[in-house]
Structure 1
Amino acid sequence: MPYVDRQNRVCGFLDIEEKEGSSRFQRRYFILDTQGNTLQWYMDNPQNLPSGANAVGILQLTYISKVTTPLNRPLSKVINAVSRRYFLHANDAADLKDWVLALNKATKITVPKAGPLQPRSEVSTVTGEAGGKRLAYKTEIIGGVVVHTPIYQNEGGEMEVGDRRVSSIGSRPGVLRCGYCVKQGNVRKSWKRRFFTLDHNAVSYYKCEMDKEPLRTVSLRDIQKVHECLVKSGDLLMRDNLFEIITSSRVFYVQTDTPEDMQGWIRDIELKIQDFRGPAKVDLDTYKSLKSQLLRICPT
């Protein structure tokens, strides 16, 4: 689901057909910036990318004429711009509706500027985090739209940082919730995307969804508290949708893609902790106080 960040921008993940007509969709993190008059998309949330990482694509809002939902493509929307049409896929119907409303609201008061712009192109390279492999892009400015087209790409598909596939819970016996989140490392304090699972006994995270063995498992028995991280400093200050899992030995900082994901993880972990520990015990003083109140209300 798209959400509004601290800079009042609409943000979230979508799949985009970056090369028109290719029918190949890539997972990208979109930022709708009405103040900057742009729709930008990145390999991942810029907070999780190297400092200064550039957008994969930028579209000026003034060049968007219409945003529609084609009948023959469920969960898809089409952005009609001056130079081309952009096809995007949403996660679900609610996600699609929110993005269409946000885009139409952002573009309804804009008017495409008259006058042709000279096409300009250049070739640049970017370095991905996955194995330090370099990707070459042809950058063209067509009709005021910056278009980045990959010239080549490594076999094997997506870079790890752009991966937000969600596994089916049904394919993981005993798993109550699963999905990709970003967590802070304990030693280097770097942020990495990991695949998290919650079962009846623990919260675990894996390097990727396909791994059989987790990088770490945190027993529900050891979790003292889980809640939204409201007191922030340093690197945590600019991170949205951040919650913490507190144990006796460490605090795990976990960032989700949307506020709904964050609340869902907190709720489900808290419920499992309660189930795991059983009903709360009442101490002797509390018991005596409750008993005296009952006697006053219902004297024998």
Structure 2
Amino acid sequence: MPYVDRQNRICGFLDIEENENSGKFLRRYFILDTREDSLVWYMDNPQNLPSGSPPVGVIKLTYISKVSDATKLRPKAEFCFVMNAGMRKYFLQANDQQDLVEWVNVLNKATKITVPKQSDPLCQMDNANRQAESPGGKKQVSYRTEIVGGVPIITPTQKEETSECSEGGDSNYLKRSQSHLPYFSAKHPPDNAIIKAGYCVKQGAVMKNWKRRYFQLDENTIGYFKSELEKEPLRVIPLKEVHKVQECKQSDIMMRDNLFEIVTTSRTFYVQADSPEDMHSWIKAISGAIVAQRGPGRSAASVCYSEPQRK
């Protein structure tokens, strides 16, 4: 799900068809930044990339004319939506239906033209200036043509200055969601059934660098792999060694969103999920597995998890 990061930008993972009509969707990390008037996407969360890594793509919000659900048309992928930008259509794939609806809503809200309130003195002065600029109160607007990614883009040379007069702040139209995603099973090995699996980013023990790893939680262990294609885990953490799992209180120091910690006898593992929902889902899943393994009586002091308050 899209979420608001520390800089009040809307972020999250989506799959995008970068090469038009290729039918090939690639996983990218998107940042909707209304202050910079842009939608940018990276290979991964910039927090996990080398400092100064350039984005894979960028679109000015003024270029985007419409964002809509594409599943009722000729969908290129499940949970697909289309973004009209200049003379090109960008097809993107969300994680699920709710993710699709939220991205369509926030993108349309960020790109729509807002009407200033007449009661605002600044807007009244601006309207008076606009009427004085041309006969009949119509403002003459000039246009320019640019080539963006091989696509000609026609845009006004003067930007509409309505941001100060629009209702509400950009940072308020998406609250931090605290809902849970359901558990899912990726594989079913003969030994222990997988309770939850998916990609997270973890901090290394020695170099303290952050790398994306594929995590698997079963009835007895938490293992992480270099990728979901690997059969042998890089490390296995027995649940019997886990003292507690909780949202990390040092996230402000580490400047990491959606960070939680797995505290064991020998080490504390710092793990970053892709969204607040995913973080709470991992905490709840691991906590539940420990309760199931040890029993309610013994696990109460060992597992630290509280249901997040819905805002």
Q: TM-score, normalised by structure 1?
A: 0.75
Confirm or deny: 8 A CA contact 1:182 1:192 kept in the other structure: yes
Whether 1:3 aligns to 2:3 is: yes
> Deviations along 1:266-287, whole A, 9 cap, x unmatched?
01111111222223269xxxxx
Residue 111 of structure 2 aligns with an amino acid whose one-letter code is T
Structure 1 residue 273 corresponds to structure 2 residue 277: no
2:144 to 116, 119, 122: 116
Residue identity in the other structure for 1:177: K
Find the residue that maps to 2:200 and give its secondary structure: strand
Consecutive unaligned residues in structure 2, runs of 5 or more: 116-140, 156-182, 300-311
Which residue is equivalent to 1:104?
108
1:21-50 deviation digits (Å, cap 9, x = unpaired): 221211111111111110001001111111
Structure 2 equivalent of residue 246 of structure 1: 263
4+ residue segments displaced more than 3 Å: 139-142, 170-173
In structure 1, how many angstroms separate the alpha carbons of the residues matched to 2:63 and 2:245? 45
Matches within 5 A, 1:30-109: 30-70=30-70, 71=72, 72-73=74-75, 74-109=78-113
Q: Distance in 2 between matches of 1:140 and 1:199?
A: 48
Verify the 8 A CA contact 1:243 1:253 in the aligned structure 2: yes
Asked if the contact 1:62/1:110 (under 8 Å) is kept, the reply is no
Partners of 1:92 and 1:172 lie apart in 2 by: 26
Corresponding residue for residue 246 of structure 2: 227
Equivalent positions of 1:198-237 (< 5 A) are 198-232=217-251, 234=253, 236=254
Q: 1:100 to 1:172 in 2, by over 3 A?
A: farther
Contact kept in structure 2, 1:167 and 1:209, CA below 8 Å: no
User: TM-score normalized by structure 2?
Assistant: 0.72
Alignment-derived partner of residue 302 in structure 2: none
Aligned partners of 1:140, 1:186: CA distance in 2, in Å?
Answer: 44
- Structure 1: gaps spanning 5 or more residues: 121-138, 146-165, 283-300
Q: Which has the higher strand share?
A: 1
User: Does the Cα contact within 8 Å between 1:43 and 1:56 map onto a contact in 2?
Assistant: yes
C-alpha distance 209-114 of structure 1, shift in aligned 2 (>3 A):
farther
Other-structure match for 2:278: 261
Q: Which amino acid aligns with 1:116?
A: R
Q: 1:101 to 1:233 in 2, by over 3 A?
A: closer
Conserved in 2, the CA contact under 8 Å of 1:69 and 1:76? yes
SS of aligned partner of 1:214: coil
Judge conservation of contact 1:37–1:62 (CA < 8 Å) in 2: yes
CA-to-aligned-CA distance 1:48-104 (integer Å, 9 cap, x gap): 111100110000001111111121314111111113111111111111001000101
SS state of the match for residue 280, structure 1?
helix
Secondary structure, aligned partner of 2:143? coil
CA shift, 1:171, in A, is 3.9
How many correspondences in the alignment? Answer: 241
Say if 1:281 and 1:86 are closer, same or farther in 2 by CA, change over 3 A. closer
Aligned AA for 1:66?
K
What amino acid is aligned across from residue 195 of structure 2 in structure 1? L
